[in-house]
Structure 1
Amino acid sequence: MKKIDIEKGSKRADARFRITVEETGPYLIYGQPPLAQQFIMPDAEGESWYFQQGAHFPTDDEPTALCRCGASKNKPYCDGAHVHAAWDPRLTADDAPLLDNVELTEGETLSMTDNPKYCVFARFCDAKGQAWNLVGQPENDEARELAIREASMCPSGRLMAWDNETGTPYEFRFEPSLGLIEDVAIGASSGLWVRGGIPVSRESGETYEIRNRVVLCRCGASHNKPYCDGTHASIRFNDRLEGTPEGETLPEKVY
């Protein structure tokens, strides 16, 4: 069996946590990780700035089946709608590590890797002059901290900030957990945010690279399944889940 890749800066979750992607059906969740809405919240200028928890949903069933076709009437759970829904369930993503063939932006003390294939249109990289531009500002501690923050807030891990001296990435220390991303600013619901190194596997047993943060498609329309590719934004996918951003916010320090 092929060795399972673990992305640098990530750590595999405890063995009880895992996700199986059915070839033509839902995500099967094992280990009962916490599942809650995660709302993208703006700063005073209206830019994406932090996440805030909304409603929590139980994962007591073993496994818990979560919708990935976008058609369930019982979201976030699967209700069997995928059998008759007009969607393409094919898992088209390759198994290459995310850091293969990335674009690199280098600064004096900080670098940033970028794999646009994993953009989920969360827009945390746009604030304060864009993350890529912030990396290149020499001897500017504020710009450096902002670049680290913006890269680390990218839910899919498309962007990663790296310390040039140690060669290590800056990462939030996520516990194994799942988030239902809600993007109120554009009136759409985003993907399933998988955090803390939970392995994602196909029914065949093939396991995708284990990552600290990754977003799986929840609208059924991504062209890079099982991963989200931002298509939910263009089709204005809305899961119509009740819930408001009243819970904990994502911490701002990553180290």
Structure 2
Amino acid sequence: MSKTKIETGSSPAEERFGITVTERGPLLIYGRPPLAEQFIMPDDAGESWYFQEGRRFPTEAEPTALCRCGASKRKPYCDGTHERTEWDPEPTSRDEAELIEGGSLTMTDNARYCVFARFCHPCGDAWTLTERSDAPEARQMAIREASMCPSGRLMAWDRTTGKPFEFRFAPSLGLIEDPAIGSSGGLWVRGGIPVRREDGRTYEIRNRTVLCRCGKSANKPYCDGTHAAVKWRDGLAGEPVGERLPEEVC
């Protein structure tokens, strides 16, 4: 059996944590990680700037089954509707990473993981900022914008040390809500929780990634931003009243 790949800058969660992508049904969550809404919040200019926690949901059941067809009547949990609705459950993910060279930074970009969260644009786009990263302000903002990308599509790397910049996440799950575009998003998986198929094949372990919840992604099990185009809503109706995502990266 081949060794599980671990993305540079990521650390695997404790063995009790895991997510199984069932072949024609829900996501099975193991280890009881905390689960809460995570709202994309704007700055004064209306650009995506930080995440704020909303309603929390229990994960005491072992495993906890979360909907991934998008049609459950008791979201975020599965209610068996996947057996009666038309959707394509087949995982089709593949990597297509590009390298952007800059002054003091490089940035990796895998466009297939874009979840349309828009953290890459507030103060000039992350690609241009990376190219201008010899300038301290451009470097700082490029690191922030890449690190705020919930899916890990973007990752900033120091050109001198070769090390990536990453938030330190505890194993946890977020139900992304995007009020600015009137849509709910995917399941934000943080802290190196392994994601595997029913046959035991494990995807690359990553510090941050987003799994599809609407059932429409063309890059399953990952989210590809289709929820934004179809204006998918999970109907959870929470409010951003909790903690904000920390802004320090290492």
Which category of TM-score, normalised to the shorter sequence, fits these structures?
over 0.9
Distance in 1 (alpha carbons) for counterparts of 2:97 and 2:79 = 38
User: Are 1:183 and 2:175 counterparts?
Assistant: no
**Equivalences for residues 87-236 of structure 1 within 5 A:** 87-94=87-94, 98=95, 101-137=96-132, 139-236=134-231
User: Are 1:70 and 2:70 counterparts?
Assistant: yes
Distance in 1 (alpha carbons) for counterparts of 2:131 and 2:161 = 18
Q: Quote how far apart the aligned CAs of 1:51 are.
A: 0.3
User: Are 1:6 and 2:6 counterparts?
Assistant: yes
- Report the TM-score when normalising by structure 1: 0.96
Q: Quote how far apart the aligned CAs of 1:174 are.
A: 0.3
Distance in 1 (alpha carbons) for counterparts of 2:234 and 2:28 = 19
Report the 3-state secondary structure (helix = DSSP H, G, I; strand = E; otherwise coil) of the residue aligned with 1:82: helix
The residue that corresponds to 2:85 in the other structure is 85
State the AA in 1 paired with 2:2: K
Which 4+ residue blocks in structure 1 deviate beyond 3 angstroms?
A: none
Report the 3-state secondary structure (helix = DSSP H, G, I; strand = E; otherwise coil) of the residue aligned with 2:121: helix
Unaligned 5+ segments in structure 2 are: none
Q: Quote how far apart the aligned CAs of 1:139 are.
A: 3.7
Distance in 1 (alpha carbons) for counterparts of 2:238 and 2:85 = 26
The residue that corresponds to 1:59 in the other structure is 59
Sequence identity (%): 68
For 1:24-56, what per-residue CA distance to the aligned partner results, in whole angstroms no more than 9, with x for missing partners? 000000000000000000000000000000000
Distance in 1 (alpha carbons) for counterparts of 2:194 and 2:53 = 23
Distance in 1 (alpha carbons) for counterparts of 2:62 and 2:133 = 51
Distance in 1 (alpha carbons) for counterparts of 2:204 and 2:100 = 23
Distance in 1 (alpha carbons) for counterparts of 2:97 and 2:2 = 23
Report the 3-state secondary structure (helix = DSSP H, G, I; strand = E; otherwise coil) of the residue aligned with 1:79: coil
Distance in 1 (alpha carbons) for counterparts of 2:209 and 2:75 = 20
Report the 3-state secondary structure (helix = DSSP H, G, I; strand = E; otherwise coil) of the residue aligned with 2:140: helix
Aligned length: 250
The residue that corresponds to 1:34 in the other structure is 34
Q: Quote how far apart the aligned CAs of 1:138 are.
A: 5.0
For 1:52-71, what per-residue CA distance to the aligned partner results, in whole angstroms no more than 9, with x for missing partners? 00000000000000000000
For 1:177-205, what per-residue CA distance to the aligned partner results, in whole angstroms no more than 9, with x for missing partners? 00000010000000000000000010001
* Contact in 1 for aligned 2:105/2:133 (Cα 8 Å): no
For 1:68-114, what per-residue CA distance to the aligned partner results, in whole angstroms no more than 9, with x for missing partners? 000000000000000001111111114xxx5xx52222222111111
- Report the TM-score when normalising by structure 2: 0.98
Q: Quote how far apart the aligned CAs of 1:242 are.
A: 2.2
